[in-house]
Structure 1
Amino acid sequence: MVFLGDSYTVGVGGTGYVARTAAELGWVAYAQGESGTGYRNPSTTPGQTVFGDRIAGVVAADPDVVVVQGSTNDVGERPRLVQAAATDLYAALHTALPAARLVVLGPLSPPDVDAGAVLALRDALAAAASAAGLPYIDPVAGGWLTPPDGLFADGLHPNDAGYAQLSDDLAAALHRLGY
Protein backbone atom coordinates (compact mmCIF):
# COMPACT_ATOMS: atom_id res chain seq x y z
CA MET A 1 0.00 0.00 0.00
CA VAL A 2 1.21 3.49 -0.81
CA PHE A 3 0.26 6.61 1.09
CA LEU A 4 0.65 9.72 -1.11
CA GLY A 5 0.49 12.96 0.81
CA ASP A 6 2.02 15.80 2.76
CA SER A 7 3.70 16.34 6.14
CA TYR A 8 1.09 14.13 7.82
CA THR A 9 2.24 11.27 5.59
CA VAL A 10 5.85 12.14 6.47
CA GLY A 11 4.96 12.19 10.17
CA VAL A 12 6.03 15.73 11.05
CA GLY A 13 5.32 16.41 14.74
CA GLY A 14 5.41 12.76 15.80
CA THR A 15 5.85 9.22 14.57
CA GLY A 16 3.15 9.57 11.91
CA TYR A 17 0.14 7.49 10.92
CA VAL A 18 1.41 5.42 7.98
CA ALA A 19 3.19 2.54 9.74
CA ARG A 20 0.55 2.20 12.44
CA THR A 21 -2.35 2.23 9.97
CA ALA A 22 -0.64 -0.37 7.78
CA ALA A 23 0.09 -2.57 10.80
CA GLU A 24 -3.54 -2.36 11.94
CA LEU A 25 -4.63 -3.57 8.49
CA GLY A 26 -1.84 -6.15 8.05
CA TRP A 27 -0.36 -4.27 5.08
CA VAL A 28 3.15 -3.33 4.06
CA ALA A 29 3.26 0.43 3.62
CA TYR A 30 5.30 2.82 1.56
CA ALA A 31 5.06 6.55 2.34
CA GLN A 32 5.28 8.90 -0.62
CA GLY A 33 5.01 12.09 1.42
CA GLU A 34 6.61 15.51 1.16
CA SER A 35 6.05 18.24 3.74
CA GLY A 36 4.31 21.41 2.61
CA THR A 37 2.90 19.89 -0.57
CA GLY A 38 -0.57 19.32 -1.93
CA TYR A 39 -2.51 18.73 -5.11
CA ARG A 40 -1.44 22.18 -6.36
CA ASN A 41 1.07 23.43 -3.80
CA PRO A 42 4.63 22.16 -4.37
CA SER A 43 5.82 23.86 -1.12
CA THR A 44 8.59 26.40 -0.88
CA THR A 45 11.27 23.75 -0.35
CA PRO A 46 13.41 23.16 -3.45
CA GLY A 47 12.88 19.73 -4.95
CA GLN A 48 9.47 19.17 -3.41
CA THR A 49 6.64 18.40 -5.82
CA VAL A 50 2.87 18.36 -6.06
CA PHE A 51 1.14 15.02 -5.66
CA GLY A 52 0.74 14.50 -9.41
CA ASP A 53 4.49 14.75 -9.97
CA ARG A 54 5.07 11.76 -7.68
CA ILE A 55 3.11 9.19 -9.66
CA ALA A 56 6.28 7.40 -10.79
CA GLY A 57 7.25 6.79 -7.16
CA VAL A 58 3.79 5.42 -6.39
CA VAL A 59 3.87 3.15 -9.44
CA ALA A 60 7.37 1.88 -8.59
CA ALA A 61 6.00 0.43 -5.34
CA ASP A 62 3.46 -1.63 -7.35
CA PRO A 63 0.75 -1.19 -4.70
CA ASP A 64 -2.55 -2.96 -4.34
CA VAL A 65 -3.96 0.10 -2.56
CA VAL A 66 -3.16 3.82 -2.82
CA VAL A 67 -4.37 6.28 -0.19
CA VAL A 68 -4.12 9.90 -1.33
CA GLN A 69 -4.04 12.10 1.80
CA GLY A 70 -4.55 15.84 2.24
CA SER A 71 -3.96 18.54 1.99
CA THR A 72 -4.39 21.70 4.00
CA ASN A 73 -1.33 22.94 2.12
CA ASP A 74 -3.75 23.72 -0.71
CA VAL A 75 -5.69 26.18 1.48
CA GLY A 76 -5.39 29.48 -0.37
CA GLU A 77 -5.58 27.81 -3.78
CA ARG A 78 -8.83 28.15 -5.72
CA PRO A 79 -10.94 25.10 -4.84
CA ARG A 80 -11.94 24.51 -8.47
CA LEU A 81 -8.25 24.37 -9.45
CA VAL A 82 -7.52 21.92 -6.63
CA GLN A 83 -10.50 19.86 -7.80
CA ALA A 84 -9.12 19.83 -11.36
CA ALA A 85 -5.67 18.78 -10.12
CA ALA A 86 -7.25 16.03 -8.02
CA THR A 87 -9.30 14.83 -10.99
CA ASP A 88 -6.14 14.66 -13.12
CA LEU A 89 -4.23 12.84 -10.37
CA TYR A 90 -6.93 10.21 -9.82
CA ALA A 91 -7.18 9.56 -13.57
CA ALA A 92 -3.40 9.27 -13.93
CA LEU A 93 -3.16 6.87 -10.99
CA HIS A 94 -5.97 4.74 -12.41
CA THR A 95 -4.26 4.63 -15.81
CA ALA A 96 -0.86 3.77 -14.33
CA LEU A 97 -2.23 1.28 -11.78
CA PRO A 98 -5.49 -0.09 -13.20
CA ALA A 99 -5.66 -2.98 -10.71
CA ALA A 100 -4.92 -0.86 -7.62
CA ARG A 101 -7.70 0.34 -5.35
CA LEU A 102 -7.60 4.10 -4.80
CA VAL A 103 -8.93 5.85 -1.70
CA VAL A 104 -9.06 9.59 -1.05
CA LEU A 105 -8.45 10.78 2.51
CA GLY A 106 -9.59 14.37 2.76
CA PRO A 107 -7.91 17.08 4.81
CA LEU A 108 -8.15 17.35 8.56
CA SER A 109 -8.93 20.70 10.15
CA PRO A 110 -6.00 21.60 12.41
CA PRO A 111 -6.39 24.49 14.88
CA ASP A 112 -4.18 26.98 13.00
CA VAL A 113 -5.84 26.58 9.59
CA ASP A 114 -8.99 28.49 8.62
CA ALA A 115 -11.86 26.02 9.06
CA GLY A 116 -13.95 27.60 6.27
CA ALA A 117 -11.09 27.25 3.79
CA VAL A 118 -10.64 23.61 4.83
CA LEU A 119 -14.35 22.97 4.18
CA ALA A 120 -14.12 24.49 0.68
CA LEU A 121 -11.09 22.33 -0.05
CA ARG A 122 -12.78 19.27 1.42
CA ASP A 123 -15.82 19.80 -0.80
CA ALA A 124 -13.66 20.16 -3.93
CA LEU A 125 -11.78 16.94 -3.19
CA ALA A 126 -14.98 15.07 -2.34
CA ALA A 127 -16.45 16.15 -5.69
CA ALA A 128 -13.35 14.99 -7.57
CA ALA A 129 -13.38 11.63 -5.78
CA SER A 130 -17.10 11.19 -6.45
CA ALA A 131 -16.69 12.00 -10.14
CA ALA A 132 -13.89 9.42 -10.35
CA GLY A 133 -15.98 6.81 -8.52
CA LEU A 134 -13.52 6.67 -5.63
CA PRO A 135 -14.25 6.25 -1.94
CA TYR A 136 -13.77 9.48 0.00
CA ILE A 137 -12.97 9.48 3.70
CA ASP A 138 -13.95 12.77 5.35
CA PRO A 139 -12.05 13.43 8.59
CA VAL A 140 -13.78 16.80 9.05
CA ALA A 141 -17.28 15.32 8.98
CA GLY A 142 -16.01 12.49 11.18
CA GLY A 143 -14.71 14.95 13.77
CA TRP A 144 -11.22 13.45 13.67
CA LEU A 145 -8.75 15.05 16.09
CA THR A 146 -11.43 17.22 17.69
CA PRO A 147 -11.24 18.72 20.12
CA PRO A 148 -7.57 19.26 19.31
CA ASP A 149 -6.42 19.55 22.93
CA GLY A 150 -3.41 17.31 23.50
CA LEU A 151 -3.42 15.97 19.92
CA PHE A 152 -1.19 18.49 18.11
CA ALA A 153 2.55 19.14 18.34
CA ASP A 154 1.88 22.63 17.00
CA GLY A 155 -1.17 24.28 15.46
CA LEU A 156 -0.80 22.25 12.28
CA HIS A 157 0.79 18.83 12.89
CA PRO A 158 -0.47 16.05 15.15
CA ASN A 159 1.72 14.74 17.94
CA ASP A 160 2.10 11.03 18.68
CA ALA A 161 -1.30 10.88 20.40
CA GLY A 162 -2.90 12.66 17.44
CA TYR A 163 -1.25 10.37 14.90
CA ALA A 164 -2.36 7.33 16.92
CA GLN A 165 -5.95 8.57 16.83
CA LEU A 166 -5.62 9.39 13.11
CA SER A 167 -4.33 5.85 12.46
CA ASP A 168 -7.16 4.26 14.42
CA ASP A 169 -9.81 6.39 12.66
CA LEU A 170 -8.33 5.72 9.23
CA ALA A 171 -8.01 1.98 9.79
CA ALA A 172 -11.63 1.85 10.99
CA ALA A 173 -12.80 3.83 7.94
CA LEU A 174 -10.86 1.56 5.60
CA HIS A 175 -12.35 -1.51 7.30
CA ARG A 176 -15.84 -0.07 6.76
CA LEU A 177 -14.96 0.30 3.06
CA GLY A 178 -13.97 -3.37 2.90
CA TYR A 179 -10.20 -2.97 3.02
Structure 2
Amino acid sequence: LPDLIIKRHPDLVIVTLGLNDNFSYDVAATAIRTQIGADLRRMKDALPRARFIVVEPFWYTDARPRSVGIISGWVKAAAADIGADYIPGASHWIEHHPEWMASDGLHPNDAGYAEIARKVDHALRRLGL
Protein backbone atom coordinates (compact mmCIF):
# COMPACT_ATOMS: atom_id res chain seq x y z
CA LEU A 1 0.00 0.00 0.00
CA PRO A 2 2.71 2.59 0.71
CA ASP A 3 4.01 2.19 -2.85
CA LEU A 4 0.58 2.95 -4.30
CA ILE A 5 0.27 6.08 -2.19
CA ILE A 6 3.79 7.28 -2.91
CA LYS A 7 3.39 6.75 -6.66
CA ARG A 8 0.48 9.21 -6.76
CA HIS A 9 2.40 12.06 -5.05
CA PRO A 10 -0.59 13.30 -3.03
CA ASP A 11 -0.65 16.54 -1.06
CA LEU A 12 -2.80 14.90 1.62
CA VAL A 13 -2.59 11.34 2.94
CA ILE A 14 -5.30 10.00 5.24
CA VAL A 15 -4.54 6.54 6.53
CA THR A 16 -5.75 4.09 9.10
CA LEU A 17 -3.81 0.96 9.82
CA GLY A 18 -3.63 -1.75 12.43
CA LEU A 19 -7.08 -3.36 12.60
CA ASN A 20 -6.12 -6.61 10.89
CA ASP A 21 -2.93 -6.75 12.93
CA ASN A 22 -5.03 -7.65 15.97
CA PHE A 23 -5.59 -11.08 14.46
CA SER A 24 -1.85 -11.88 14.41
CA TYR A 25 -0.81 -9.86 17.45
CA ASP A 26 -0.07 -12.90 19.63
CA VAL A 27 2.51 -14.26 17.20
CA ALA A 28 3.85 -11.11 15.55
CA ALA A 29 3.61 -8.16 17.96
CA THR A 30 7.18 -6.98 17.46
CA ALA A 31 6.95 -7.19 13.68
CA ILE A 32 3.62 -5.35 13.70
CA ARG A 33 4.99 -2.49 15.76
CA THR A 34 8.05 -2.20 13.54
CA GLN A 35 6.03 -2.30 10.32
CA ILE A 36 3.56 0.39 11.44
CA GLY A 37 6.40 2.81 12.07
CA ALA A 38 8.28 1.78 8.94
CA ASP A 39 5.26 2.22 6.65
CA LEU A 40 4.46 5.69 7.95
CA ARG A 41 8.11 6.77 7.92
CA ARG A 42 8.60 5.48 4.38
CA MET A 43 5.61 7.44 3.11
CA LYS A 44 6.62 10.60 4.95
CA ASP A 45 10.20 10.40 3.68
CA ALA A 46 8.97 9.94 0.11
CA LEU A 47 6.31 12.66 0.45
CA PRO A 48 7.90 15.27 2.71
CA ARG A 49 5.54 18.08 1.72
CA ALA A 50 2.34 16.04 2.08
CA ARG A 51 0.10 16.49 5.09
CA PHE A 52 -0.50 13.21 6.89
CA ILE A 53 -3.58 12.41 8.92
CA VAL A 54 -3.56 9.09 10.74
CA VAL A 55 -6.85 7.68 12.02
CA GLU A 56 -6.85 5.39 15.05
CA PRO A 57 -7.41 1.79 13.95
CA PHE A 58 -11.07 0.86 13.69
CA TRP A 59 -12.52 -1.95 15.76
CA TYR A 60 -15.72 -3.77 14.98
CA THR A 61 -17.13 -5.42 18.12
CA ASP A 62 -18.02 -4.38 21.63
CA ALA A 63 -15.53 -6.96 22.94
CA ARG A 64 -12.07 -5.45 22.67
CA PRO A 65 -8.96 -7.60 22.94
CA ARG A 66 -6.07 -6.00 24.80
CA SER A 67 -4.22 -5.74 21.49
CA VAL A 68 -6.59 -3.02 20.22
CA GLY A 69 -5.32 -0.51 22.76
CA ILE A 70 -1.71 -1.56 22.34
CA ILE A 71 -1.74 -1.35 18.55
CA SER A 72 -3.63 1.95 18.69
CA GLY A 73 -0.86 3.28 20.93
CA TRP A 74 1.78 2.19 18.44
CA VAL A 75 -0.10 3.87 15.60
CA LYS A 76 -0.47 7.08 17.60
CA ALA A 77 3.24 7.11 18.46
CA ALA A 78 4.24 6.44 14.84
CA ALA A 79 1.96 9.28 13.70
CA ALA A 80 3.64 11.63 16.18
CA ASP A 81 7.06 10.49 14.96
CA ILE A 82 6.29 11.75 11.45
CA GLY A 83 4.46 14.88 12.59
CA ALA A 84 1.07 13.65 11.41
CA ASP A 85 -2.28 14.78 12.70
CA TYR A 86 -3.94 11.97 14.64
CA ILE A 87 -7.67 11.28 14.84
CA PRO A 88 -8.42 9.34 18.03
CA GLY A 89 -11.49 7.35 19.00
CA ALA A 90 -12.13 5.44 15.78
CA SER A 91 -11.92 2.09 17.54
CA HIS A 92 -15.14 3.05 19.37
CA TRP A 93 -17.10 4.62 16.52
CA ILE A 94 -19.38 1.68 15.77
CA GLU A 95 -19.37 -0.23 19.04
CA HIS A 96 -22.73 -0.95 20.69
CA HIS A 97 -24.43 -0.83 17.28
CA PRO A 98 -24.82 -4.37 15.93
CA GLU A 99 -27.25 -2.95 13.38
CA TRP A 100 -24.27 -1.26 11.71
CA MET A 101 -22.51 -4.56 11.06
CA ALA A 102 -22.65 -6.68 7.90
CA SER A 103 -23.75 -10.28 8.08
CA ASP A 104 -20.11 -11.46 8.13
CA GLY A 105 -19.76 -9.97 11.63
CA LEU A 106 -16.43 -8.39 10.67
CA HIS A 107 -17.20 -5.44 8.42
CA PRO A 108 -19.62 -2.56 8.75
CA ASN A 109 -22.69 -2.52 6.54
CA ASP A 110 -23.68 0.56 4.53
CA ALA A 111 -25.14 2.25 7.61
CA GLY A 112 -21.96 1.51 9.57
CA TYR A 113 -19.76 2.91 6.83
CA ALA A 114 -22.01 5.98 6.68
CA GLU A 115 -21.47 6.51 10.42
CA ILE A 116 -17.71 6.14 10.01
CA ALA A 117 -17.83 8.67 7.15
CA ARG A 118 -19.72 11.13 9.36
CA LYS A 119 -17.13 10.74 12.11
CA VAL A 120 -14.21 11.18 9.71
CA ASP A 121 -15.87 14.23 8.16
CA HIS A 122 -16.34 15.79 11.59
CA ALA A 123 -12.72 15.09 12.57
CA LEU A 124 -11.39 16.51 9.30
CA ARG A 125 -13.44 19.67 9.74
CA ARG A 126 -11.94 20.08 13.21
CA LEU A 127 -8.53 19.91 11.52
CA GLY A 128 -9.55 22.65 9.11
CA LEU A 129 -10.17 20.43 6.08
Normalising by structure 1, what TM-score? 0.62
Name the counterpart of 1:104.
54
Number of aligned residues:
124
1:152 to 2:101 alignment: yes
For residue 65 of structure 1, what is the amino acid of its counterpart?
Answer: L
For residue 16 of structure 2, what is the amino acid of its counterpart?
Answer: Q
For residue 84 of structure 2, what is the amino acid of its counterpart?
Answer: L
For residue 97 of structure 2, what is the amino acid of its counterpart?
Answer: P
**Cα deviation code 1:123-158 (max 9, x no counterpart):** 111121122221121213xx3112122111032100
Q: Which runs of 5+ in 1 are unaligned?
A: 1-53
SS of the aligned residue for 2:98 comes to coil
Percent identical pairs in the alignment equals 31
Aligned Cα root-mean-square deviation (Å): 1.9
Deviation at 1:92, TM superposition (A): 1.1
Name the counterpart of 1:36.
none
**Residues 38-49 of structure 1: matches in 2 within 5 Å?**
none
SS of the aligned residue for 1:150 comes to helix
Name the counterpart of 2:70.
120
Normalising by structure 2, what TM-score? 0.83
**Cα deviation code 1:57-88 (max 9, x no counterpart):** 11222211111212321013344432321221
Name the counterpart of 2:12.
65
Q: Which runs of 5+ in 2 are unaligned?
A: none
For residue 13 of structure 2, what is the amino acid of its counterpart?
Answer: V
